[in-house]
Structure 1
């Protein structure tokens, strides 16, 4: 369920950079029943080209090209790893290694469609992480990905035993309730049951550094969305 509309971070004649809300598809899926960000942009601009994508439940920075030359240039920049991509994520537990590079090949699971796994037949996949804050049950991490595999951060964090919170594919998928880490939690009179403080994947594309075809450098940042920010604030209070 998409609660907020995409926010434009940069727009010019060649490309558009947006802050995608969680719950919105980047591009149409196989079924084509749901509206995607690409379709929304096509309605507004006509021609739009996919440069890269974010998982439906991941929020944050995504780039679309407005012409074929820009599409070719930016796609190549992503492919050749000249684009710097940073994410913020909340994981279960506290990783013992405060900084780590995970270099494990990722392949599609041949028995479960749409699920990825670590397998030697997969493509090389490299994720750096750094623990920013520890909260006992959870930790806030910053990731830099050097490759762009499907579900890369999610698969790698499951592999090291600290899956991204509220991940239905690679974690337990259960929403985070304040009562799970606040000892004396009482429902307000108007509530029949507790509403989750975070009910979606705790992953956000935070920062992108790239050069455009005209040679201009761009550093784009998207602050954490309200739901993830609220969880971090609650966890800090109880630290």
Structure 2
């Protein structure tokens, strides 16, 4: 698919219903016109859909000029369009909560099941699009990510001038993150302890696995409380690998409750919202690089002991 525009670039289409336009650079001069090109380039979008968008003037060049079905396809062109879904999205029945906003940042308490950004079959039912539509912040961008299945604190930038300063905190690993999870007991360990492993891509593109070698992931694990066979853990990730906490607890014999990926990737549950992953980004702390003020943001959500 196309790419989202850089915040400093000229964008010939406005944000619409919270959805920012996407763009595509053309790298060939091709015969047959724009409709034929678009239908061939985006196999998951129907010819009729592209024809309707062109007719509505919703595919434009870099100057904002509407393109037609027979407009030439030239190497070096940049075209702009809105991403759409051919099928209606299922509403996600959980709402985000705004924890903090200033001239630079927006801090949000994300619910389970809500994706961060448009991807695949999700567009309007994503945290970014919801917030853009609600708050009219066209330059809103997440400066770190949570999995769709994970709830909790996430930070956005909405100020282009200071975005890089805040992003650098995460790159330098000076941000402290605390998670909580519900899982079975980990046997044979004295708490707290640090678990390290070497994480690599698994045989399925959406999961990770561990292999022998120099560790590249590290998590400090504490016990908060135990009720029967379920333990509430406090997790301090010292690295930020994809699915790190989920894989680490699974490797220790205590997969997080309702984890559909670890230890075994289960069939997709589609729009079943009945069993949220019991993983919560509880808090984020850092010294604000603009003001020098210590900041801590804490989720107001709780995990479900009933599973």
Q: TM-score range by the shorter chain?
A: 0.7 to 0.9
Q: Which residue of 2 aligns with 1:18?
A: 108
TM-score of the pair, normalised by structure 2: 0.62
Q: CA shift at 1:133, angstroms?
A: 1.3
Q: Which residue of 1 aligns with 2:257?
A: 165
SS of alignment partner, residue 71 of structure 1 = helix
User: In 2 relative to 1, CA 168–70 (structure 1 residues): closer, same or farther, beyond 3 Å?
Assistant: same
| Equivalence map 1:1-239=2 (5 Å) | 2-33=92-123, 35-43=125-133, 44-97=136-189, 98-109=191-202, 111-120=203-212, 124-171=216-263, 199-214=275-290, 215-225=292-302, 228-229=303-304, 231=305
Q: Which residue of 1 aligns with 2:26?
A: none
Unaligned runs of 5+ in 1: 175-197
String of CA shifts for 1:130-159, please: whole Å, max 9, x gaps: 011122321110001111111110011111
Q: Which residue of 1 aligns with 2:44?
A: none
> How many aligned positions are there?
208
Stretch of structure 1 that moved more, 42-51 or 160-169: 42-51
TM-score of the pair, normalised by structure 1: 0.78
SS of alignment partner, residue 225 of structure 2 = strand
String of CA shifts for 1:68-94, please: whole Å, max 9, x gaps: 343212221112111000011001234
Higher relative contact order (CA 8 A, sep 6+): 1
String of CA shifts for 1:148-200, please: whole Å, max 9, x gaps: 111110011111111111000004689xxxxxxxxxxxxxxxxxxxxxxx711
Runs of 4+ in structure 1 over 6 Å off: none
| Contact 1:49 1:68 survives alignment (8 Å) | no
CA distance in 1 between partners of 2:245 and 2:129 (Å): 26
CA distance in 2 between partners of 1:118 and 1:24 (Å): 27
Compute the RMSD of aligned alpha carbons.
2.6
CA distance in 2 between partners of 1:171 and 1:31 (Å): 25
Unaligned runs of 5+ in 2: 1-90, 267-273
Stretch of structure 1 that moved more, 66-75 or 21-30: 66-75
User: In 2 relative to 1, CA 132–31 (structure 1 residues): closer, same or farther, beyond 3 Å?
Assistant: same
CA distance in 2 between partners of 1:207 and 1:54 (Å): 13
CA distance in 1 between partners of 2:177 and 2:107 (Å): 13
| Contact 2:219 2:245 survives alignment (8 Å) | yes
User: In 2 relative to 1, CA 162–209 (structure 1 residues): closer, same or farther, beyond 3 Å?
Assistant: same
String of CA shifts for 1:90-131, please: whole Å, max 9, x gaps: 01234432211111121211x201111113578711111101
